[in-house]
Structure formats: structure tokens, C-alpha cells
Structure 1
């Protein structure tokens, strides 16, 4: 155990990391690495598969050679098997640390005996919306999400909504669950308060809970009185949407500069998700001066506060109403959004991790 005044030695176990394909969880991990690299209270080392080599810079990094990683389901199964075969060696490499933190939820491999674990669990969507998951995915999450949460000395999550679901659905003690709201690098987004272009914007992967079909129907309703209005979609897996109307611009994955331009020029961000453990895009839009209309589902009311128009995501007419109201209230929502964004910083997020680490070591 580290002497009381020395930095806490933390192993960041991230063998399931697949750079470029993990959305908000990857942004979180990058900012966590950056913050820990500058920390005077934590001495962290990253553990990654071969595909993740270089992710942890400037932290020290241990690459698990022979654990390849990858994007597909087959790749994930292979990663689990490879990590299992090398589990003994990996646990030996982690045994000298004060704790193991698993930022990507699944403890692969299982931490060494006697070393406390901190798990980041972003949400328990598979318990709230099980019909959206395959049997294999439900079994995976039952073992690696729920089982790990019950074993963890501390669980970090990203909203009070997610915390309450973890407590009630998984049965984790309330005093072991810490809320670390994600941050927004406001300097990366320049607010545009002038005239905006006639399109609404939705950056989201083509997953079922992202609710694209109802959004498309809602914009179709808006076009009855606003025929110039278009819908721009970005994100991965959008080919799953199938054929879309000609006024829907499906751009897929776009560079960050293009994402910033879309935030700065859209008439509104319309975010109709049926479930969010947090939801970064509404805050990124606010930082860009873009008015926001967002779903009442999950954490979104908690994150958006009074700086967005809320709507029922199951009702296309109400989605249309929310989008139209957000556009009409642009000048009112812009300053509210810029103020709201200032409440979400990576520094605050990191401070909660310090608390969770201290609690894990203290109670282990």
C-alpha cells in the first residue's frame, strides 16, 4: 500500500478499448488519461490491447501483446479469450498497484486478488430497455457490467439518473456509487450567435434507442410549413436506417472540424434519444450557440436543465413542436446554454474520481 502522502498507484485496465469506435465513452477515457497525467495525487499506468497502443500517452502504458482487440463481435469474443489466456501475467503486472480502475466497464481480465477495483458504469440500459439487446449481449452485460458493479469497491457513473438506476436495478449500495458528470472542452467550440441555416442536426449512431425514425417523421411534419428545412445526420452505423427521404442528409462519421461547423450553423440540435446515461451532444451544441430541443428520457433533463426545450421522444408531433419552439427561442436559449455548459468541466469530473479512488482504497 502506498504511504499516506504518496500518489495513489492506479492501473487503468482498458483492454476492451477500440480507438475511434466508442463515442462518448472514448472521449471520457481520453480526458481521464489527460487529467490523471497532470495529477499530483494519482500515479496511473494504462493497460491496453494491441489495437489501443498509444492511447494512454503521456501516461506510462502496458500493451498486452497477444490481445489484439477489434470492432466486431467476433473481435470482442477473441479479445476476451486472449485476455483470459494471458490473465495470470496481466494480473501479476497489476498486482503492485493500489487499485485497478476499469473505465470501459468490463474488467478484462479480472483484477488481482486483494487489489480493490473501481468500475465506470455509464448506464444500465440493458435492464431498462432489454428488448433492444440480443441474448448474447444481455448475457455479456449481466456478467461484466452487473457482476463487476457488485464486486467493485466503488462505481463511477455519469449522471444522477444513472446512479439511481444502478442502485435500484443492480443493487449496489448507494454509498459506493459516485456521480462524475462528463465535461465539455468549451474552448474547442466557438459560439456562433448570428444567422443560422435551415437544417436541424442530430449526431448519433444508428442504434435503435437513438430513435431516428421518429425524428425523420417529425421533420417531415415540420416541412409541411417549412419546406426548406432539412435534417442532417452524422455518426456511425447509419446505414441501418435504410432508405430515407431526399431532404435527409446522412453524412456518417465526420471530422471534428465538420462537426463543429454543423453545430455552429444548424437551426437547432434535435436530440430524440429514448435513453441516455449522460448525453454530450446537447452540451456541445450549447457551447456552439446552437439552440437545443431534447428528449425527456433518461438523464437529458438533468443535463440540459432550463437551457433546452424538452419533448416526448415517443411522439413525432411533440418532437416537431420542441424543434420549432427551440428555433423560435434561439436568442433566449443561446445565453442559457453557454451558462449551462460552464457547469460541466473535466476538472470537476476528475475530482469525483479522486473521491472514488480514496473511498475504494479506504474500504477495501
Structure 2
């Protein structure tokens, strides 16, 4: 079988989705010697992947996502390779692609958080693009041979909101990035806490700043925390600086927030350093389809305080201490407990060791490969 993978979002620069594509491709290379794979990449991530086996090859598909070119120019590039099955790792599928494909639906943020607050577009452009995106999403789930979701929560969400039968969906768990736990002390030699403008023990958040990530809520809770428990800690926000992060930074300046530091797009070694030196990891999200950053923190033996929303209790189980993401005093108190309650911290660290054994990119690839074979058999 000849399988195509849309890897235009390949690599860490594209966040959790990019990590998923990257790790899936690399692990499939390790386990699949039978099938032929065509990996479609853009020019800006072309050099990030080099096939290491003869049954894998890469093809340039230098087309940005979510635009008109994706709808009209991507299909001919794929068809030229004559793949038997295409795997789209996100819902952004050309409406006129009619050959067999499977799709990974990571979450339904598009449906639950499709508000102007989550966009930089003007009202008319936003309305039109949002309408088109929802049409593309529904096309993806209805026309797909099979759907992959990263959690049971997302599976149920897809079944409920898009009216998809359960037998058409398989949950395939993701995994944390091993790089952070494998980083050596030698790689840290040139790094110091001071160079990141960190002067106190700190609470760490890693991720983007989209509205559903609830960083505004975290900052409200942080203000309560500092007023109630003092200014002995620092809050560190690490992520790619974009419009949403810049808005938060501007608000910090206007409101004169103390003890908050932003670190723009740290490298893997810098991020590993930040994880290893933090006192607590906080994850205030209102909605997630999986949630990789808390698991990455657990790999470094860093206790986690997490929102109790969406899939997070399913994914993190008893290895995190939870708070209502809309209850800011509760969030502040939970952060304080996570910092100061030594019995709680030890239990979280112990439970995290057991939890992490569940998650493996090898298993993700193995289960995905089984889905490829299942779809191939059912179509022949």
C-alpha cells in the first residue's frame, strides 16, 4: 500500500500538531518496512525531515494551510503521487479531494471557540472564513474512511457534535516529547536562570496564548495569589510570541503586573532547562483535545496543577492537582498547595511515573499503522 501523509505542519514550530506529525512519521519509519510512504512537506520544513529508509520519500507541497491554495492546489500534488490512502493529521482537507483518506481530529475548538475573540480578522472576513472552515471540518469527518482522535473526550465530542458513529472513530493516545527528559547537563552549561529574567522560584506555563488557553484567567488568579500569599514566586509564560501573547503582554504593562515573565519561543534545550528548574507547572486551559505540556512537565518530575476541564482529568488522571479554570481564587489556592504541600507534591510525582508508562509515540504509530491496514482491507 502507498500511504501519503500531509506533513506540511511537521516540526515543533507548529506546536502540538507539529510534534504529532513529526513523531508519527519518525516512529512509522521504525516499524513499517512493508508499505510505501510519501511525506508531503513545505519549503520551510523541508530540511527538518530526511527519510532514513527506502520505502519513505518526501515530496514538496509548498502550500500554506487554511487558504485557497490548499483547497485548489494541494489535491493535484497528492494525486500525482498516486497514493492508495492519504492521512491528513488535521481537519484542513481540500473539499475536492475524493480519494480514500483518514483524518486526525485533535479537538473541536473550531466549534466551541469560534468567536471573534480568537481571530485577528475583520468581521466580514472572519464570518466567511469561519463558515468555510466549518464546512471543511464537516466534509473531513463525513468523507473520511476513518477518524483518529487523541482522547476519548474528543471521540465523544465528535460523535455528539458531528453525528459520527463510534465505530468510525479510534482513539490513539499521543505522548510527551522525550527530548526534554533526555537533555544532558552539558547542554545546560551556557544557560542560567538570570538570562531569562527569572529572579525567584517560579511557576511555569508552556504553550500558545489562544483564548481557550485561558491565560487571562491565569493572570487573574496570579493577582489573587500574590495578594494572598505574597510575592515570593514568579510566573513564567513560555511560548511563541504572536498577536494573542502580545495582547497579554500589553495588558501586563498597563495593569502593572508584578512577577510575570514572558519567554519568546524557547529552544528545546532552553525549554527543558525551564522545566527542570521550575517549582510547579500550571495548565489553566478551558478546552483541550489531549494536553502534551503537562505530561512533558511530569517527565521532568515537575508537579502539575491543571484545569479540570475537557479531557485533562482523563489524560492526567491522579498525577495532577485540579482546579476549576473559571474559579480564580480556587486556581490561586491550588497553585499554592502545589507549591507548599510536600505530601501532595510527592504523591503527584509518584503517580506521574505510573501514568507516563501509558504514553508512547511507538504505540501511537503502531495503532495508526493498524488503522491504515484496517481501512485498506475494508476497501478491497
User: Normalized against structure 1, the TM-score is what?
Assistant: 0.86
Q: Which residue of 2 aligns with 1:130?
A: 114
Q: Label 1:181 to 1:86 Cα distance change in 2 as closer, same or farther (>3 A).
A: closer
Does residue 232 in structure 1 map to residue 236 in structure 2?
yes
Q: Give the one of 45, 60, 63 matched to 1:63.
A: 60
Q: Distance in 2 between matches of 1:286 and 1:19?
A: 22
Q: Which residue of 2 aligns with 1:305?
A: 317
Q: Which residue of 1 aligns with 2:352?
A: 337
Q: Give the one of 102, 105, 108 matched to 1:118.
A: 102
Kindly state the Cα deviation for residue 321 of structure 1 after the two structures are TM-superposed: 1.9
Contact 1:12 1:102 in 2 (8 A): yes
Kindly state the Cα deviation for residue 61 of structure 1 after the two structures are TM-superposed: 0.6
Q: Which residue of 2 aligns with 1:243?
A: 251
Structure number with the higher helix fraction is 2
Summarize deviations over 1:148-190 as a string: whole Å, max 9, x none: 1110000111111001101111112211111111112446416
Q: Which residue of 2 aligns with 1:274?
A: 286
Q: Label 1:56 to 1:150 Cα distance change in 2 as closer, same or farther (>3 A).
A: farther
Q: Distance in 2 between matches of 1:144 and 1:122?
A: 15
Secondary structure of the structure 1 residue equivalent to 2:44 = helix
Does residue 201 in structure 1 map to residue 204 in structure 2?
yes
Q: Give the one of 42, 67, 70 matched to 1:77.
A: 67
5+ residue gaps in structure 1? 1-7, 71-75
Summarize deviations over 1:237-283 as a string: whole Å, max 9, x none: 21121231131001121111111112112111110000100010110
Q: Distance in 2 between matches of 1:292 and 1:349?
A: 24
Q: What does 1:185-196 align with in structure 2 at a 5 Å threshold? A: 185-186=177-178, 188-189=180-181
Kindly state the Cα deviation for residue 352 of structure 1 after the two structures are TM-superposed: 1.9
Q: Give the one of 220, 233, 241 matched to 1:217.
A: 220
Q: Which residue of 1 aligns with 2:300?
A: 288
Q: Which residue of 2 aligns with 1:73?
A: none
Kindly state the Cα deviation for residue 107 of structure 1 after the two structures are TM-superposed: 1.9
Q: Label 1:289 to 1:101 Cα distance change in 2 as closer, same or farther (>3 A).
A: same
Q: Which residue of 2 aligns with 1:104?
A: 90
Q: Which residue of 2 aligns with 1:316?
A: 328
Kindly state the Cα deviation for residue 305 of structure 1 after the two structures are TM-superposed: 0.3
Secondary structure of the structure 1 residue equivalent to 2:204 = strand
Contact 2:12 2:19 in 1 (8 A): no
